[in-house]
Amino acid sequence: MRDRVDSFLDYMSVERGVSPNTVSAYRNDLNQLVEFLESYDPGFSNGHGWERADGAAISAYILRLHDLGYSDTTRARKLASAKSLFGFLLDEGTISRDPSENVSSPRVGRSLPDPLNVDEVGRLIDAVPLTDRPEELRDRAMLELVYASGMRVTELVSLDLDDLNLVEGCVRCLGKGGKERVIPVHPKAVDVLRDYIETGLPDLVGKGSGDAVFLNRRGRRLTRQGFWLILKGHAERAGLDTKITPHTLRHSFATHLLRGGAPLRHVQELLGHASINTTQIYTHLTSDHLRAEYDKAHPRA
């Protein structure tokens, strides 16, 4: 069970960009959950422990926290940690249902993603110098592709050359739970990607390159951590004060599509969300945008 917790913490740290303190809090909460479940039912100690979890077990865990004297706020946070883990396990295909789905908790505010606006995205991409250096061609191609497709950073660095169809203008990626999807890519991003593959990639290829699209300077497949460092560097050069993570461009992609009129179901498919409930978080952002436009446009507003 703990190996899946470690995978979740790695995802939160690298893809979601949460702080070390937050990761530490998640670890403490989830280790406490695992300890409870293993004592609650010895069957949780085997390799299929998470699939055994049900609403009764999670409710018993929350009740135990109450008996130990934890405040409502702390119990709500610990349940939120568990729900985040179960959402991850569900997307990964480790479990077939969320055992915490019907477990209620004290009402708490939901943090919304903080997307870049269109101008800030442009500044970020333009912060990559327009040269013939292979690393800069690679960086610009990656930023353009993530914003054009909304793919996760894991999906980005996992791309192989045969996943790209530059003639048709689309990319195939393998998402959570091994689910494959094909995403259209606009012509400008295709042109930048083609320039990198034809001009920059050959200079990066080494013995361990395989068919990877994005390589580091040692000729090996770029890692998620490597992409994060690259992103942070260009964000600083662009003068962007907002905390930017690999997920920021994905959030921006979804928000800008919805504000442009794209149906929620279409955005769900593009993002590879298993449930539309995950995609609906962006409707809060677009609602704020619509309210602002209403206030500007309505003669009585």
Residues with a catalytic annotation lie at: 152, 176, 247, 250, 273, 282
Here the tokens at position 278 are 């995950």
Start-to-end C-alpha separation, the chain: 54
Task: Record the tokens describing residue 251, joined without a space.
Answer: 């959030």
Nearest to 81, CA basis, from 38, 27, 35, 34: 27
Report how far residue 248's alpha carbon sits from residue 182's, in angstroms, rounded to the nearest whole number: 21
CA angle 33, 39, 43 (to 5 degrees): 100
Contacts of 53 by beta carbon, 8 Å cutoff, 6+ apart: 37, 44, 86, 95, 99
Q: What tokens were used for 200?
A: 């920059």
How far from chain centre, in Å, is Cα 288? 22
Do residues 1 and 44 lie in contact, with contact meaning Cβ atoms separated by under 8 Å?
Answer: yes
Residue given tokens 């979740």 in the structure block? 8
Cα-flanking dihedrals φ and ψ of residue 157, to 5°?
Answer: -75, -15
Apex 60 CA angle, 108 and 95, nearest 5:
80
- For 195, the token pair is 């320039």
What is d(CA 66, CA 68) in angstroms, rounded to the nearest whole number?
Answer: 5
Question: Which sign does the torsion angle of CA 148, 154, 159, 165 carry?
Answer: negative
* Residue 203 and residue 134 in contact, taking contact as beta carbons nearer than 8 Å: yes
